[in-house]
Amino acid sequence: MELDELKQRLVKFCRAKYEDDAALITDTHKMPGHAGFSYGFTVQSKGKPESWYLRLPPPNVQWKGTADVLRQAIILNALDETDVPHCSVKWSGDDLKWFGRPYFIVPKLEGDILRLELDGWGNKLSDEKLYDLGKQIMTALAGIHKVDWEKKTPGLGPAIPFELDVTRWDRFYERSADPERLAKAPEVRRKLLDKLPAETPIGVFHGDYQLSNLFCSFEGNLLAVIDWELVGVGATLNDVGWVATFSDPIAWSTQGYERKMFLDPDTLVNQYIAAHGSPLPDIRWFRALAAYKFAIISGFNLSLHRRGKRPDPLWEELKYSINTLIDRALELLD
């Protein structure tokens, strides 16, 4: 949607919701987003400005899966009854008269995702503050996992079986670029299936719990867990394995892409255990699964980039880590 058209739609929407025929819309702009279209805007009403974030599904796609923005609103609404930092939904719905598709709107926050690249603002935080931020992040994750999904978010189920969480990546593996980098992937897949966890907590998972989806103040406080397009129900330790993998220096190549690691995986896992109150006997399996998944995702997205389907040069930098991620998965499974 072009910004001029969106602004016209926002004027009608906000004048109705604010009950103010003189409300004005300013600063309408596109914002980053992977599985939908995101916009920021400010409403001037009765002398008071308020800034908002609008999420829409992409045009010409079915409104399901990652494009189902109302699915994301389900978990955000459920989190209102918790201490998990998040953006509460102000408005949402599927009335097409407003934007021609479903939508949700939340307050726009001032801050940024935690950036630990060489010139990232997060590098200015002290070790003590980074440790404290880790506690906030892992406590928030434990809070997400404690949501009673059957009562509070039944629309997010049913739970994904453990085996399917391994095999559903097969079709992406088959379409990956540089297949030689994934030569050991079938061995990882076999070992993952041979060592499926017998029993592990089931609940709501975020699906992509890592620094890019943690919105913070520049003082180092977690303001909101964001980007819920992969939310679902299944093994909650998927999230723990995922965030641990993204902080595991052994899993990543220093060739092509450099950034400072966050807290080491053992520290993050222990912070989660302290917040959740239960041991994690299968955590190495879930860390291996996370490394396996992201290696395949990297190969698949590298293919999309090279074919011009979804250009992003970052995947050319991350391709070197495909090998190290697979090797790390094997190490964790042995």
DSSP annotation string for 138-176: HHHHHHHHTS-HHHH-GGG-SPPPTTHHHHTTHHHHTT-
Distances from the Cα of 64 to the Cαs of 71, 79, 207, 210, in angstroms?
8, 21, 16, 23
Cα–Cα distance, 94 to 100 (Å, whole number): 9
**pLDDT value for 261:** 86
CB 142 within 8 A of CB 276: yes
Q: What is the rounded CA–CA span in Å between residue 85 and residue 88? A: 9
Confirm if 233 and 152 have CB atoms less than 8 A apart. Answer: no
- Its CATH architecture, for the domain 112-333, is Alpha-Beta Complex (3.90)
Does 3-107 match 112-333 in CATH topology?
no
Per-domain residue ranges for the chain? 3-107, 112-333
**Which pLDDT score is estimated for 254?**
87
pLDDT at 149: 95
pLDDT of residue 33: 57
Neighbour tally for 86: CB within 10 Å:
24
**pLDDT confidence of residue 93:** 97
CATH number of 3-107: 3.30.200.20
What is the pTM assigned to this prediction? Answer: 0.94
What averages of pLDDT result for each successive group of 10 residues across the chain (334 residues)? 93 98 96 75 96 92 90 97 97 97 96 91 95 98 97 92 95 97 98 93 96 96 96 96 96 82 95 94 96 98 95 93 98 96
Pull the structure tokens for residue 181.
């980098």
Tokens read off for 98: 């407003």
Please count the other Cβ atoms lying within 10 Å of the Cβ belonging to residue 136.
Answer: 18
Per-residue exposure over 11-45, b if at least 16 CB sit within 10 Å of its own CB, e if not? eebbbeebeeeebebeebeeeebebbbbbebbbbb
DSSP 279: -
pLDDT of residue 36: 57
**pLDDT number for residue 276:** 95
Give me the residues paired with residue 267 across strands: none
Alpha-carbon torsion 188, 65, 35, 259, what sign? Answer: negative
